[in-house]
A and B are shown apart, each in its own frame.
Chain A
Amino acid sequence: QVQLVESGGGLVKPGGSLRLSCAASGFIFSDYYMSWIRQAPGKGLEWVSYITINGRSIHYADSVKGRFTISRDNARNSFYLQMNSLRAEDSAVYYCARHLGPGGDLPFDYWGQGTLVTVSS
């Protein structure tokens, strides 16, 4: 069955960096667009970024543009989120999610369990 497993979250100081990973299994990873979505404690969902099948097209939310970088390794069935210049407002549970197919404007049909990022001094 489809599984998405995030890792890499933790406590980091403001201005620091963190790299999140999402390991996929149970489907042909290279056939799907993938996204990162976050949820601050007690708040709603906020889309962060998505990457196309071959990684040639990437899109970011304005709130993270220039600080976060999404990438993928189809050989490893994994994709990543490099987060730099972290701020307190980046504190959230970060979910990786699969798009319903090879399209940017498709819903997210599978989600990981999330990994918590806390930015605090």
Chain B
Amino acid sequence: SFDLTQPPSTSVSPGQTARITCSGDNLGEKYVCWYQQKPGQSPVLVIYEDRKRPSGIPERFSGSNSGNTATLTIGGTQAMDEADYYCQAWDSNAAVFGGGTKLSVL
């Protein structure tokens, strides 16, 4: 089965750049999207098709995908960005999510 691997947690200082990785076999050949989930809330799509931002998502969110790794980058991280982040791709008509990364803004 196709699996996506994310680090369980990462931390960043306010104003710095946060990077969250997502790894999978030949992931660069698939489109990857990213969801942000804050405690008690539903997930929100922040990046799709590797690097596109939905309407209303701040420009500080960006994405890339190459080889076996996709990366979500948050530039100038703010306290409001503290959340769980999930990567997701499709494989054989099934959506696959990474295990999620808890981003702490310290």
Residues of A at under 8 Å CB distance from B? 35, 37, 44-47, 50, 59, 61, 95, 100, 104-105, 107-109, 111-114
Segment of B19-27, B66-74, B87-95 in the binding face: B87-95
Q: B33-71: which have CB < 8 Å to A? A: 33, 35, 37, 42-45, 48-49, 54
Per the bound structure, the CA–CA distance linking A47 and B94 in Å amounts to 8
B28: interface (CB < 8 Å): no
Per-residue CB contact flags for chain B residues 73-106 toward chain A (1 = under 8 Å, else 0) read 0000000000000101010011111111000000
Cα–Cα, bound, A107→B97 (Å): 11
* Cα-based distance from A109 to B42 in the complex (angstroms): 11
Q: Is the CB of A45 within 8 A of B43?
A: yes
Contacts of A109 in B (CB 8 A): 45, 48, 54
Interface band, chain B = 20 to 34
Q: Is the interface of A mostly helix, strand, loop or mixed?
A: strand
Whether B100 contacts A47 by the Cβ 8 Å rule is: no
Residue with the greatest number of chain B CB neighbours at <10 A, chosen from A61, A108, A109? A108
Contact call A114/B42, Cβ cutoff below 8 A: yes
5 pairs of A and B residues whose beta carbons are closest in the complex: A47-B95, A105-B90, A107-B33, A111-B42, A107-B48
Which chain B residues lie closer than 8 Å to A46 at the CB level? 97
Of A61, A108, A113, A114, the contact of B94 (CB 8 Å cutoff): A61
Find the residue from A50, A107, A108, A111 having the highest chain B CB count within 10 A: A107
